[in-house]
Structure 1
Amino acid sequence: MKAIVLNRTLPEGIEFTDLTLPKLGSDEVKIKVKSAALNHRDEWCRQGKYANLHDGIILGSDASGIVVEVGKEVDPDWIEKEVIINPASDWGENSNVQAKNFKIMGMPEHGTLAEYVQVKSDRIHLKPDHLNWDEAAALPLGGVTAFRALFRQGNIHASDQVLITGFGGGVAQFGVQFALSTGAKVYINSSSEEKIQKGLGLGCSGGFNYNDESWTEKAISQTGGFDLILDSAMGETLNNLIKVTKPAGRVVFYGATRGNPTGFDGRRLFWNQIKMIGNTMGNDEDFGNMLEYVTKNKITPLIDQVFDLDNSLEAFERMKEGKQTGKIVIRISQ
């Protein structure tokens, strides 16, 4: 089968190759992949910036497809079912935090950027009927991360004023849609005016260009501050987030793409009793609740661009440029 694997010996960092899957396990299903979606972790793997890298591993964490074969312990009724995959496994017994052996498909184990994928049967869920193949493929990793960040970690309320930073990325676009669906007043920031306009079109109440040195003053003047912030950058932006958080507000981080901060406004943090909360994807309960919520509220992922498998390098390059608004999808089969 055709697949996209990590190969750091090549200038591109990835290789389009043919692989043979191992014999299907008794508790596994084989899925013919229809569409797969990229996440930043796929590009970080390509750049050698992710932990526990192994050349030859199929990249990708998100996919939709059709079950074509099941192991002997799996209900045969799954055959021909349209499904999406929960890419995380081995969360552990503590719902508050993942265990040490928690894993995500695509590194260090084979992922979804291939014509076929084999996973344990408890990792599959029926595809929401209102989503097409591309939209369904865009949902899993970003959807569950945003859902847990907002509802479990952020404890969002309809009365909240919410700031979603870095609008345009996969998790951020889900954060916006989920937050809007609760009735909360949602704001965004981005370095792109085009992305800000896209967010306003979804129903956001305002947007701020974080390259504007006075964006925090404008945000405070316009909103009075935020009850809840979702952020994946951290770095030297942390103090700005603390500045625009209301007393007793919550800041949920699901990444640190700008690295660790060299310092932060600790006095404002403790005096205003601001909560800073970490978030990594979600457990199986979060994933199931996310799917139910998406189905009930007919939430549809934003798709930036769709590429063919043969043009997958172009998809990775677009992810690297950071110009996308929504998810970048690779269509594996028609």
Structure 2
Amino acid sequence: MKAIVHEGTAGLEGVSYREIEEPLPGKGEVRIRLKAAGLNHRDLFVLKRHKENEPPLIIGSDGAGIVESVGEGVTAVKAGDEVIINPGLGWPDQSDAPPEGFEIVGLPFHGTFAKSITVPAENALPKPKHLSWEEAGVLSLAALTAYRALFTRGKVKPGMKVLIPGIGSGVATFLLQFAKAAGAAVYVTSRSKEKRQKALELGANKAIDSSADWNEALNGEKMDLVIESVGAATFNQSLGQLRTGGTIVTFGASAGDDVTINLRTFFYGQFNMLGSTMGSGEELKDMLHFIEEHQIHPVMDRTYSLSEYQEAFTRLERAEQIGKIAFSIE
């Protein structure tokens, strides 16, 4: 089958679109004929983390398709079912942190940028009926990351004020939609006028220029919750927007992971700081119920064929996207 494969040279230079052996489902597994897949920042990191001396790897973590065949002992899923993939392996139940041995498809195991993928049967979940194939294909990783950060960790409630710095990424757009659906007031930042305008169209209460004075732009209004994924470039500004006793949840560091904070300001502010990453199978099911209840659609940026992977990766690397980049798989 044709797939986007990384091997040898680190980075995009080590990626090719080529033939590779198609997987067969083993005991307790299903093979899914993929219809669409979603590009994530994780895929950029994988190009650096996958070592030159390791076997060729099909990258990609998000996908949706039709169950083609099932392995021995599989009864809950059958051929012909329309499903989305839970990319998390080994984290079935909600817990304080991922259990030891938790992995994500696309590294170290083959991923979704291919004609088909084989996963444990419990990792194939019913595709929400209101979503197109492309929308379903980009959903799991980003939406689950947003759901856990906002609900499990951030404990968002109706009437809360939520700040999302760096609007534009897939996770950030899900955060905005989820927080609004939960009844929160949502404030976002971006250097891009186009991304700020899109956020307002999605329901943001205010969208401010990241390069402006945040205190001035918010008129001194303080936040109950900040969901921070940018990292060093914005972290202290984000902390500065918290009310006394407020919470900051961090799950990313795209603009640097070394941050220095003033401890005295932090403890006098009675702030709460929580880490978060992806989420469990239980939370994914809760998230799917939530998006069906509120009829939420992913914000779609552009759709590419697998052979156009260089254009897709370059667009993501340059942070030009608004929402999710999809691959349509024929």
What is the alpha-carbon distance in structure 1 between the residues aligned to residue 312 and residue 14 of structure 2? 13
Distance 1:195 1:289, change over 3 A: same
Aligned-residue offset at 1:22: 4.0
| Map of 1:238 onto structure 2 | 235
What is the alpha-carbon distance in structure 2 between the residues aligned to residue 236 and residue 205 of structure 1? 23
Aligned-residue offset at 1:12: 2.4
1:196 is the counterpart of 2:196: yes
* Deviations, residues 156-204 of structure 1 (Å, cap 9, x unaligned): 0111010111111011010000000011100111111110000001111
| Map of 1:261 onto structure 2 | 258
Could you tell me whether the CA contact under 8 Å between 1:238 and 1:261 is conserved in 2?
no
What is the alpha-carbon distance in structure 2 between the residues aligned to residue 52 and residue 85 of structure 1? 25
What is the alpha-carbon distance in structure 1 between the residues aligned to residue 311 and residue 256 of structure 2? 27
What is the alpha-carbon distance in structure 2 between the residues aligned to residue 112 and residue 36 of structure 1? 6
3-state SS, counterpart of residue 4 of structure 1:
strand
Query: How is 1:36-55 mapped onto 2 (pairs within 5 angstroms)?
Result: 36-46=37-47, 48=48, 50=49, 54=54
What is the alpha-carbon distance in structure 1 between the residues aligned to residue 129 and residue 76 of structure 2? 21
Could you tell me whether the CA contact under 8 Å between 2:105 and 2:111 is conserved in 1?
yes
Aligned-residue offset at 1:9: 2.4
Could you tell me whether the CA contact under 8 Å between 2:23 and 2:31 is conserved in 1?
no
Question: Which runs of no fewer than 5 residues in structure 1 stay unpaired?
Answer: none
| 2:58 maps to amino acid | I
TM-score w.r.t. length of structure 1: 0.94
Aligned-residue offset at 1:209: 1.4
Distance 1:249 1:117, change over 3 A: same
Could you tell me whether the CA contact under 8 Å between 1:25 and 1:71 is conserved in 2?
yes
Aligned-residue offset at 1:102: 0.9
Aligned-residue offset at 1:288: 0.7
What is the alpha-carbon distance in structure 1 between the residues aligned to residue 50 and residue 314 of structure 2? 21
Distance 1:325 1:93, change over 3 A: closer
How many pairs align? 328
Distance 1:235 1:143, change over 3 A: same
Question: Which runs of no fewer than 5 residues in structure 2 stay unpaired?
Answer: none
Could you tell me whether the CA contact under 8 Å between 1:304 and 1:326 is conserved in 2?
yes
| Map of 2:304 onto structure 1 | 307
TM-score w.r.t. length of structure 2: 0.95
Aligned-residue offset at 1:92: 7.0
Structure 1 vs Structure 2 CA RMSD: 1.7
The match for 1:285 among 279, 282, 286 is: 282
| Map of 1:181 onto structure 2 | 181
3-state SS, counterpart of residue 235 of structure 1:
coil
What is the alpha-carbon distance in structure 1 between the residues aligned to residue 2 and residue 25 of structure 2? 18
Aligned-residue offset at 1:217: 2.9
| Map of 1:229 onto structure 2 | 226
Could you tell me whether the CA contact under 8 Å between 1:92 and 1:99 is conserved in 2?
no
3-state SS, counterpart of residue 68 of structure 1:
strand
Aligned-residue offset at 1:51: 6.8
Aligned-residue offset at 1:312: 1.6
The match for 2:270 among 244, 268, 273 is: 273
Aligned-residue offset at 1:215: 2.5
| Map of 1:164 onto structure 2 | 164
| Map of 2:62 onto structure 1 | 62
Could you tell me whether the CA contact under 8 Å between 1:144 and 1:287 is conserved in 2?
yes
Aligned-residue offset at 1:236: 4.2
What is the alpha-carbon distance in structure 2 between the residues aligned to residue 31 and residue 195 of structure 1? 35
| Map of 2:27 onto structure 1 | 26
| Map of 1:218 onto structure 2 | 217
| 1:68 maps to amino acid | E
Distance 1:262 1:173, change over 3 A: closer
Query: How is 1:95-134 mapped onto 2 (pairs within 5 angstroms)?
Result: 95-134=95-134
3-state SS, counterpart of residue 110 of structure 1:
coil
What is the alpha-carbon distance in structure 2 between the residues aligned to residue 77 and residue 93 of structure 1? 20
| Map of 2:318 onto structure 1 | 321
| 1:327 maps to amino acid | K
Aligned-residue offset at 1:266: 1.6
What is the alpha-carbon distance in structure 1 between the residues aligned to residue 327 and residue 145 of structure 2? 21
3-state SS, counterpart of residue 29 of structure 1:
strand
Aligned-residue offset at 1:39: 0.3
Aligned-residue offset at 1:258: 2.2
Aligned-residue offset at 1:241: 1.1
| 2:119 maps to amino acid | V
What is the alpha-carbon distance in structure 2 between the residues aligned to residue 94 and residue 169 of structure 1? 25
